[in-house]
Structure 1
Amino acid sequence: MIAAGLVRMHFHDYFIRGCDASVLLDSTSTNTAEKDSPANKPSLRGYEVNDNAKAKLEAVCPGIVSCADIVAFAARDSVEFIRAHTIGRSHCWAFSSRLYNFSSTSSQDPSLDPSYAALLKRQCPQGSTNPNLVIPMNPSSPGIADVAYYVDILANRGPFTSDQTLLTDAETASQVKQNARDPYLWASQFADAMIKMGQISVITGNAGEIRTNCRVVNGEGLEYLHQ
């Protein structure tokens, strides 16, 4: 489902140095782009959506809508869409150490729910050489964006260590419990978080440029582009 990918793209672009759509830039002979870093390749997706939107916008109003604007609008529309569809997926390699190589004393992370760990092992067999194996992020309701994620965390059914770490701090554990109980609270907080993230280090005026093609900068010798 591309919608979840667009929301993730919004996060990966805006949370690193702010709103600049730099994650859309292609690599060059002298620079490895963000999209080709291990954190983004091959898991980040949705570039073609931004390409298509940019091409259509440039055809009717050239030089007006920035690539950063497109990333934000695509994510906003996707949030509305994924409320009734999938919320996302994870590659097996991103958490396999919790299943097979957790520590010197335990091959499996003891904080994982045993039945969930067994399910993950069936979906992500040890020794697999397939880098594209994926699982749904939310095992109890993989096709719906809802508070079941927090219910799963409370049941020790989160695939990432960072998920379970939320329960190790009193403040974050309290937030997990509140969100698990109140879907309306979660929806409101999620919307607020998306808006706040979209306001990180926004560059305006002559500080940047509006790219004609989101994959490349407009001119030569520009070390860093805003949009």
Structure 2
Amino acid sequence: MAKGVGCSTPLPFVMALVLATAAITSLAQDPSQLSLGYYSKTCPTAEQIVRTEMECAVKANPRNAAFIIRLHFHDCFVQGCDGSVLLDDTATLIGEKQADQNVNSLQGFELVDKIKEKLEAECPGVVSCADLLAVAARDATILVGGPYWDVPVGRLDSKTASLDQANSDIPTPQQGLATLITKFSAKGLSPTDMVALVGSHTIGMSRCVNFRDRIYGDFQLTSKSEASAQVYLSKLKETCPTDGGDDNVSPMDYTSPTVFDNAFFETLIQGTGLLNSDQEMYSSLLGFETSHIVEKYWAESISFFKDFSDSMVRMGNITNPAGGEVRKNCRFANA
């Protein structure tokens, strides 16, 4: 067992993880340079370390799975998958943690710190924080019942962050379908990628401030005021009053909130999606681009799992052409 690796009674892992093959030789972040074997010689235990720490974390709190997947998503949508979301503010750098969609919302930074500490103890200065997030997001998915995929690695960590891009590029819960499709398209991701990736909300929780407008807005219209929907809506309003309680949370998939499955898509078909941005994929007048995908994923979980895996790889391959480094501490650029 690698140094620093260990956790009592780890969760069973569904599949052996693929180890990583070449030394760090380039400073450019070109997607074509990512490979499955990037660390096989320089840190062959890298994925084992990440896997073990994620097993411990998800066993302790299943919500850690959603935290890590969301961190990876928010990282990739700003400057590419370069670990910029992890940077703390300093006297010379303004990070992304105070962006509208991040502040008081993103969690999991301490877990990233812990994994990075283990990696540095085993292979100092070798495994990037961006790769850590990509591998951990895959492991998080598996640990709550989702699909496996091979994660190409070799990303570098940005030395900079962009609060402005975080505020402009990350999709928000209040946005309409046309805006959402445009934001995903700007990252090279299709409407199918968007619906598949949003499917990760099957294990997510949302803050009241993000779904208040929805439950006091068109929720009754999209749910057709059915009795079961009214009971659910009443519970949501108890959780999220018209005033106050901004940080109260509710699961986005209320039937199986800790299991990665396709039940989330049923909520959209029933018109009871928690977030406006989610329900828009099925109920919007522009939904002809996405509603059939929602129906397909609810009918065929295998299709959802396959497309989610493929889309996570595509999103993970968005790199920062400016290049970067391998940070020793994920919160700060190297001195």
Coarse TM-score class (shorter-chain normalised): 0.7 to 0.9
- Please say if 1:94 is aligned against 2:215: no
Q: Return the match for 1:117 from 225, 229, 233.
A: 233
Alignment of 1:131 onto 2:251: no
2:260 aligned residue:
145
**Mean Cα displacement is larger for which, 36-45 or 150-159?**
36-45
Q: Tell me how far apart the structure 2 counterparts of residues 181 and 153 of structure 1 sit (CA, whole Å).
A: 13
The whole-number CA distance in structure 1 between the counterparts of 2:99 and 2:320 is 23
State the one-letter code of the partner of 1:174.
Answer: H
1:19 and 1:203 in contact (8 A); partners too:
no
Give the residue type in structure 1 aligned to 2:238. Answer: R
Q: Is the 8 A contact 1:54 1:67 kept in 2?
A: yes
Higher mean C-alpha displacement, 61-70 vs 27-36: 27-36
State the 1:112 CA deviation: 4.2
Per the TM alignment, residue 187 of structure 1 is displaced from its structure 2 partner at its CA by 0.6
Give the gaps of 5 or more residues in structure 2.
1-62, 147-201
Query: How many residues align structurally?
Result: 210
The alpha carbon displacement at 1:194 in A equals: 0.7
Q: Residue in 1 aligned with 2:67?
A: 5
Q: How many Å separate the matches in 2 of 1:21 and 1:170?
A: 35
Q: Which amino acid aligns with 1:140?
A: T
d(CA) in 2 for partners of 1:112 and 1:120? 14
Identity of aligned residues (%): 40
Cα distance, 1:203 vs structure 2: 5.0
TM-score normalized by the length of structure 2: 0.59
- Residue matched to 2:269: 154
Residue in structure 2 matched with residue 176 of structure 1 by the alignment: 294
- SS of 1:214 mapped into structure 2: coil
Unaligned runs of 5+ in 1: 220-227
Aligned counterpart, 2:171: none
Is 1:188 matched up with 2:306?
A: yes
Say which is worse superposed, 158-167 or 28-37, in terms of deviation. 28-37
Pairwise CA distance, 1:30: 4.8
Shift in Å, 1:132: 2.1
Question: What is the aligned-residue RMSD (CA, Å)?
Answer: 2.0
TM-score using structure 1 length:
0.85
